[in-house]
Structure 1
């Protein structure tokens, strides 16, 4: 609904492209001012978006950027935790630093950004936190242990935070997308760690999601239409999780 976020300020992590870029665009279209936290620059400047260079796994980077948003925009009403990376390897061959990197960005990023935003939401009289989990945190993806673990952690942190901040009129929810056509998925397709045929084996709708199909439910959870929804994770996966994971990809047999 156009204008429903008029006067509101939202932070979108990983907001330069992919699902985060789609969320940022949807929020601007509905009247919000958006701050994007990302280490990647967008392809071009975007009206209504304040692009900040932020490492969400670094607490000081997050605190500094959050203070900058408040200084420039005056408040924080919504936070979308979306920043993430992909790394693939059999668990027994994975460098521990890769584990720390993936978990630190996905789950650590949610923790740091939520902790920084909550005091500002309390000052504003309430707010909404929406985090991008994954169907991989429900069924698991072979070869992506840190990613699946971090996404499951996002669901757990969502529930814990929802109970904690409810007295302050702050709602906390998550979206668990299935395979979505984003730069991260394209990277995996390019390096051979995913194939589209394998991804679609157990997806009844028989296609990948578009980023906008994930952004719209996420924005719904931040809106007044979801004013009585908190502590929930909405699965948006084309039916993948009702059927489970398909066979292990061949490259895992090492």
Structure 2
């Protein structure tokens, strides 16, 4: 093979390897972050990065599942195994409804290095993608003076680091940032956008063929299911503790 052709072949192989696994836009999905893992017949599993053993992820993938690993990218959680590694100066105000969790100063290089290790852990465990939570700290009472521009910069950094590791990445909530971030993320996970009347913000991302996975913490609602189907969204209804299996729209 001529040298130029050999180089092109090598580049093609590298690019193929570096492309994260795409989630089908109409994929069924299961979200569970607490309790004994339930195993409904769903194509995508969104489960906790730390609490899920590598063997469980391996088994799910062998069954044809796509595994998305959840972790918090914008908050410090006192129960995580790496909690002591974060500098005290990087820890902001607590989240009132979530004991032991506080906002995190993601602008710091040392914090980003620790978050990159979380992505390394996801890759090492065999996750197909990640669901990083709390990426809208700027819009909350965080005690760190985070700005919208800094949030956009951080979220783009996070997406880039995930893609470097061959991980797909979802944009969690942060609906106000969709115009700046939709092109950088592979799918979206939203909580309660129907409750807050924000689901319309996902129209452009959906037109790109990207899956929009919506969780509503309320009783099953057929009218919302009809609306979600028209929009091309994948809607489910969950208990807030996320211990069991949600009720999916048909």
> Same-fold call, TM > 0.5?
no
> Which structure dedicates a bigger proportion of its chain to strand?
2
Specify the structure having the higher radius of gyration (Cα): 2
TM-score by length of 1: 0.35
> Which structure dedicates a bigger proportion of its chain to helix?
1
TM-score by length of 2: 0.35
